[in-house]
Amino acid sequence: MFNCKPSVLSLALAAAGVGLAFSSDIAFAADEINTEKNQVADAVNNKNNTSIASNAIADNAEANSVAEDTDIEVISVTGYSRSLIDSLNSKRYGDTVSEQLSADDLGALPDVSMADALTRLPGISAVRTGGQAAEINIRGMSGGFVFSTLNGREQVSTSGSRSIEFDQYPSELISSAAVYKSPKASLIEGGVAGTVELTTVSPLSKDKQHSFTANVRGMYNDRADEVFGAEDFGSRLSFSYQGKFLEDTLGVAVGYARLEQPSVATQFIGLAYNDSKDVDGIDGDINGPEDNPANEYISEGFEVQHLGGVEIRNGYMAAIEWAPVDNFVLKADAFMSRFDSESFARGFRAKFGGRDASVSNPSFDGNSVVGGTFNRTSKSYTRVEIVNDDNQDFDEVDSFGVNADWQVTDRLNVNVDVSLSAAKSDFRNGLLWSNVAVDANADTPIFDENVSMSYLLNGLDLPDVGFNQADAFADIDRVMVSKYGIYPFENEDEVKAYRLDFTYELDNDFISSVEFGARYSDRTYSNDRSVFEYGNDGAFSKSEPPLQLTDDMTTVVDWEGDFSYFPSYLAIDLDKALNAWFPDGTPQPVQTWGNAGGVIDSKGYTTNYSWSVLQSGEVYEEVISGYVMANIDTEIGGLPITGNFGVRVVNTDQSATMLQNVEGNPELGAQNITDDIGIINQNYAPIVQGVDYTDYLPSINLNFKVTDDSQVRFAAAKVMSRPPINRLAGDISASVSDDGEINGSSSNNPFLMPFYADQYDLSYEYYFDEGAIVAALFYKNIDSFIDTVAIENFDFKGNGFNVPDYIIDEESGEQIETTNGTYTTAVNNAEGGYIRGLELAYTHVFASLPAGWSGLGFNASYSYTESEVESITNLGGDTSTQDLPGLSNNVVSATLFYSYEGFETRLSGRFRDDFVSEQVAINEQVVNFDGETVVDYQASYQVTDGLGVLFQVNNLTDEPTKSYFGTESKTGTIQYFGREYYLGFTYAL
């Protein structure tokens, strides 16, 4: 007799001759796993945590016989190790290039949401917003190229784009996830970067008759005490129940997850270089803007802010599954998420004042000013605003579906699916800005025009700053509230979908089965803008005078830590200030024309608010698709080959509403357009414009089983990603700045076409005794991208825009002649390019080590991605190139874990180097982000079979987010979030 230490990976493969053992919770769509494989997997998983032998055994009976007759050492693997093995099994036997996460993995911390969970996979990284992972990037491509489904159904988003916000999906309610990096014809089209498939539980597939799990924990943020008014503590609660009834023909599952967490950050924000001035005085200087080459670029200014607030997420999941006969299953499921946040941003904003400011002692990076002293002149708007902004965001996500699966004959399967996905977002961007007066107690307060400020940027470190008014920022005898504004963004997005799929098994040595089907979806997106403004942020308005503050409205706030050298400021109680300013009640925002051109009666409005009407509208999208796909299961020259090939045909009909300025000409369709408060504009014609197109998307996936332990995959496909849904909305607008410059945009375009790419994948997978090594190469050739083109000196009046010839300066009463500025619009450019890269993954579960060390394990991945795709940016003044948004050349993820007799601990780190994304706190400014390393730690102990306690720290090293404009010396954002500590328990029956 001898003791054999078997392959740990075989843990989930024993009792199946080809190792087709799957956990009931693996991340794999139901239509991709045949009934026989599931039966084998269930039999294996019913064993005692899947005991294994060193050799694969043909069936369970033989496995039991060998166990009785041979002295075999049994190794039991649970927890995080088990989840890794389940994930490897799913990857190994999948028919596409994919990454998998199992239920055990997703249910464990430190995953606050699905965004955190997915970033542990090779080639996947995240963009942190407010310290939390929200948008994910796959293979160097941003979230707009990622298509997402829940239970195989398209998901819409509250973001106004096609990229879902994964932080709205609690990890406790998702049983499995998969990231498909290569498509197949049966998958819904839309993911150039990849497709993320989230799955909720199937109650009839669970082993236990009844199970109940509860999870409770508290949290603490260690930077909250640095932010006046921020919450220190939060909580996380979840529970779920799964049960089977009526002799296992009826299954029920319900789940609830609640997250209440403080939102905390301290940040410096550099503003874009959107103006120019001859600062250096050098004769013959020609490196500046085209309109004035002698000038140097100057920034709009900077902001220093405390952020605080509370985010509350309530998630709900329910499923009912009925199998009255062996060959028919009917399932209905629902998922709902409610994500509400209320936050504040307090501090001050320095506005340099543009080209009319006086600048001395300048410092330069190239042709851009990165330091100097700015003084206000009679023509400049140089000032410091005390900021007390209030933002509210109320998001709703709903997903409902009914699925019927009918095994009509031994060969024919029919699957019917009906679904609804809906999302609503009500984001209310509110501001309360104060300015410095000479004497706030005067009968007629005077705006203090003696403004001087000095600064010097220090790249990715905080800048040096100085203000001549610094003492006034915290003095209620000097500070007066001068402007209040609220600017809601309301989005609604809904898609109804109907799907019919057939699978027919063949008796063929090459093609094992054929799948074909069709899908119809009808999507409607709407965006509504509105506005209310009162006062003036650049001066004190005579008609809407500033508010004098009192002691009970204010608190003096000091900066702490790294920011401690910035001057103190006044935090203002928003409700008390508004009650005093508007004793009859604060007016609410409306969608209005204001005094726009073409208005018959402006009802007292003196400002053009036409953008609130013109940027509101609807987008319609109807998609009809069909596919046919053959599944391969053959052997050539003794080499087993599996996979699939097929084609998907997609017809898209997209259109959007818009208002076209026809100067009131009724022959061109001009109508009286009435806003929310009854103001009528007669200049515009309502129209619906769009485009209809058809795409053919072939794909092939081949898996060559080189040996019992190794395989080679090859995949090729044509893929597409439609433009963000909000970029299809019509939004023609133009506005005049205080200095008379006209700027406008139609940055959206209903004629935008999809992104297309031809992609190829080649990977090698080797599964050894205690883990696996995977190496993959990929190449994507993208045809085109969407560019926002800026046209300078655009003739607005000549192109039909209703703009004034002059404006009236509010202070002097003088006429200022208007000048043409920049018009931006969105187009599909003709320049694409390649994205290519390498991915490596290594997993090792050391279960065969001596008892005290058998719980040790390591999991790591590395990806290198490069692209020839570049875009031009001038946010930093000097025109420069920047990479494709979402692309980090190097991304590393690693987890070291250990478990012993109920104790389990793990340390996880995620690194990504420099990348391009939207600047934190400043939407639609695409900037460079510095590389970052995020480290999380978790420890847990199983006190009893049902009760466990846990402790974790997220962002263990307090890693900040840092960005810059083109070069590191031109600071973008420096934002610190703090560490989050969790302590709690889990209970399972």
| Euclidean distance between CA atoms 839 and 301, whole angstroms | 41
Residue 744, classed as helix, strand or coil, is strand
CB atoms within 10 A of CB 510: 12
Given this model, what pLDDT does residue 141 score? 86
Q: Are strands 684-704 and 639-661 parallel, antiparallel or unpaired?
A: antiparallel
* Residue 403 tokens, joined: 């699925």
Decide which of 24 and 869 is more confident: 869
Cβ burial, residue 428 (10 Å; 0-12/13-18/19+): middle
d(CA 915, CA 929): 5
Local structure of residue 925 (DSSP, 8 states): -
Is the separation of the CB atoms in 430 and 392 below 8 Å?
A: yes
Percentage of the chain beyond pLDDT 90 is 62
Query: In whole angstroms, how far apart are CA 74 and each of 16, 50, 54, 961?
Result: 17, 9, 10, 47
Q: Is the pLDDT of residue 55 over 70?
A: no
Q: Are 934 and 888 in contact (CB under 8 A)?
A: no
What pLDDT score does 109 carry?
Answer: 41
Answer yes or no: is pLDDT of 120 > 90: no
Which tens digits make up the pLDDT trace of 294-349? 899 999 999 999 999 999 999 999 999 999 999 999 999 999 999 999 999 999 99
Which string of DSSP letters, residue by residue, matches 40-77?
HHHHHHTSTT----SS--SSHHHHHHHHHHS-------
**pLDDT one-digit tens code per residue, 807-850:** 777 667 788 888 888 887 777 776 788 999 999 999 999 988 88
The pLDDT assigned to 66 comes to 37
Q: Which residue has the higher pLDDT, 921 or 803?
A: 803
- Give the CB-side neighbour count of residue 244, counting CA atoms within 13 A: 14
Quote the CA–CA distance of 608 and 594 in Å, as a whole number. 5
Q: What is the Cα–Cα distance from 901 to 195, expressed in whole angstroms?
A: 38
Residues in the chain: 989
How far apart are alpha carbons 86 and 79 in whole angstroms?
Answer: 11
Give the closest residue to 271 by CA, choosing from 298, 253, 249.
298
Nearest to 525 by CA among 660, 625, 655: 655
Q: What is the pLDDT of residue 6?
A: 38
Whether pLDDT at 510 is above 60: yes
101 pLDDT tier (thresholds 50, 70, 90): confident
Give the span between the Cα atoms of 841 and 773, in whole angstroms. Answer: 6
How many Cα atoms are found within 13 Å in the side-chain-facing hemisphere of 858?
6
Indicate the pLDDT class of residue 422, thresholds 50, 70 and 90: very high
The first and second tokens of residue 781, run together, are 């050739």
- Do residues 221 and 232 lie in contact, with contact meaning Cβ atoms separated by under 8 Å? yes
* pLDDT at res. 103: 59
- Reported as type and span, the H/E element at residue 734 is strand 733-736
Sign of torsion over alpha carbons 731, 736, 738, 741: positive
Q: What is the pLDDT of residues 524-553, one digit of tens each?
A: 999 999 999 999 998 899 999 999 999 999
pLDDT, one tens digit per residue, over 156-191 is: 998 888 888 888 888 888 888 889 999 999 999 999
The predicted-structure confidence for 754-801, as pLDDT tens digits, reads as follows 989 999 999 999 999 889 999 999 999 988 777 777 778 888 777 666
In this structure, the strands spanning 146-150 and 194-199 are parallel
CA distance 235 to 984: 9
Mean pLDDT of the chain, nearest integer: 86
Residue 85 main-chain phi, psi, to 5 deg:
-65, -40
Spatial separation of the C-alpha atoms in residues 213 and 253, rounded to whole Å: 12
pLDDT confidence of 751, banded at 50, 70, 90? confident
Output the pLDDT for position 734: 67
DSSP assignment of 511-577: EEEEEEEEEEEEEEEEEEE-BEEEE-SSS--SSSPPEEP-GGGEEEE---GGGTTSPPEEEE-HHHH
pLDDT score of 781: 93
pLDDT at 473: 97
The amino acid at 739: D
pLDDT of the residue at 924: 62
Stretch 122-126: mean pLDDT: 81
